[in-house]
Amino acid sequence: MTEHNKTIDPQTFGKVAVLMGGWSAERAVSLRSGQAVLDALLRRGVDAHGIDVNKETVLQVLEKGTYDRAFIVLHGPGGEDGRIQAVLEVMGIPYTGSDVLSSALAMDKLRSKMILEAAGLPTPDYMVLDDETDPEYVVASLGLPLMVKPALEGSSIGMSRVNEPQQMRDAYKTAAQFPGAVIAERWIEGGEYTVTILGEQTLPVIKLETPNEFYDYEAKYQSNQTRYLCPSGLEPEQEGQMQRLALAAFKAVGASGWGRVDILCSADGKPWVIELNTVPGMTDHSLVPMAAKAIGMDFDQLVYAILAQTLDGYNGDQQQGGNHVGAS
Catalytic residues: 26, 155, 221, 260, 262, 275, 277, 281
Judge contact between 300 and 43, C-beta under 8 A: yes
Query: β-strand 15-21 against 47-53: which pairing, if any?
Result: parallel
Judge contact between 291 and 318, C-beta under 8 A: no
Closest CA to 229 of 210, 202, 212: 210
Closest CA to 302 of 240, 258, 261: 258
Q: What angle do CA 221, 223, 227 make, to 5 degrees?
A: 100
Judge contact between 156 and 210, C-beta under 8 A: no
- The gap from C-alpha 28 to its chain's centroid, in whole angstroms, comes to 16
Judge contact between 292 and 198, C-beta under 8 A: yes
Q: How far is 129 from 178, CA to CA, in rounded Å? A: 13
Query: β-strand 201-202 against 190-198: which pairing, if any?
Result: antiparallel
- Which residues make beta-bridge pairs with 72? 19
In Å, how far are 32, 206, 208, 211, 287 from 227, measured between CA atoms? 21, 10, 6, 9, 11
Q: How far is 115 from 277, CA to CA, in rounded Å? A: 15
